[in-house]
Structure 1
Amino acid sequence: MAIKQVQYLGTGRRKTAVARVFLRPGSGAITVNGRPVENYFPTDSVRGPVRQPLEATESLDKFDVLVLAHGGGVAGQSEAVRMGIARALIQFNAEFRPKLKSLGFLTRDARSRERKKYGQKGARKRFQFSKR
């Protein structure tokens, strides 16, 4: 007979990054793509958003967080992880929803990169104009 492991799933997205988050009862270890969060996200500015939902709900040491992230860069991935953790916490306890929603952790940030246009250097920047 297999032992059933309790876990809560949340999916977060930001720019082109997607993070699948699994919350399991534990001691507070956060693992991203098989590496500790300190090794995966290089700076505190991108490491901070990962812990925000857990700190807001005072459940930092109650869960082990396993994250599978792909796409985008480190900033997009960290905010995708934040959204995924918030969604997984709501699966665990629906009473967390008003708190997490007021802090903006459940809102998908729709801003993304604007495409490059033809005849230009980038999305907005033009080639240098020469009168003669």
Structure 2
Amino acid sequence: MSDSPRTGASLAELKDLVNAAGGPAAQPVAAPAEPKRDALGRSYATGRRKNAIARVWVKPGKGQIQINGKPSAKYFARPVLRMLISQPFLVADRYQQFDVFATVVGGGLSGQAGALRHGISRALTYYEPGLRGILKKAGFLTRDPRVVERKKYGKAKARRSFQFSKR
């Protein structure tokens, strides 16, 4: 009977068997992610919000943000939108340490600012993987899935019906 395979009679014995076989407790911890940078020392990421898509390059610099060839103050005239795109730097405590070059297409200004914030956050995590936890906790790495609902036939808009007339 001693040659038969050993079976765990209790949970404690089963735990010992799993640990001895190199189970989940014996697995090594994953190494930290390597930074993703191109030959010019930049990190690239794509950000999306509503129908807007932002292609973002981030590199160390003086904090200049260029969007479609224009400075951010000229492209986003509203201070709220400029504040929105600077949030990832403020949360990560990297304000005015990176230059941003971005091209944004589609959507309106609010959607473009949201796409830019998403792209900047992703590019920062590629440049400095240690910032991922901070930016994820702030919710900047999650793509906002809300988009405009399509218009249905037989309706005035997506859900609004035409005015009802009894006669």
How does the TM-score come out when normalised to structure 2? 0.75
Whether 1:100 aligns to 2:135 is: yes
1:53-101 superposed Cα distances (whole Å, 9 cap, x missing partner): 0111111221110011001111111010001011111111111111100
Q: Which has the higher strand share?
A: 1
Shift of residue 5 of structure 1?
A: 1.9
In the TM superposition, residue 42 of structure 1 has moved relative to its aligned partner by 2.0
Which residue pairs with 2:150 in the alignment? 115
Match of residue 94 from structure 2: 59
What SS does the corresponding residue of 2:123 show, helix, strand or coil?
A: helix
Q: TM-score, normalised by structure 1?
A: 0.94
Shift of 1:37: 0.5
Among all aligned residue pairs of Structure 1 and Structure 2, give the percentage whose two residues are the same amino acid. 47
Aligned alpha-carbon RMSD (Å): 0.9
Would you identify which runs of 4 or more consecutive aligned residues in structure 1 move more than 3 Å? none
**How many residue pairs get matched?**
129
Alpha-carbon distance in structure 2 between the residues aligned to 1:28 and 1:100: 18
Structure with higher Rg: it is: 2
Give SS of 2:82's match. helix
Q: Which has the higher contact order (CA 8 A, sep 6+)?
A: 1
For structure 2, the residue ranges without an aligned partner over 5 or more in a row are: 1-38
Structure 1 residues not aligned, in runs of 5+: none
Matches within 5 A, 1:57-96: 57-96=92-131
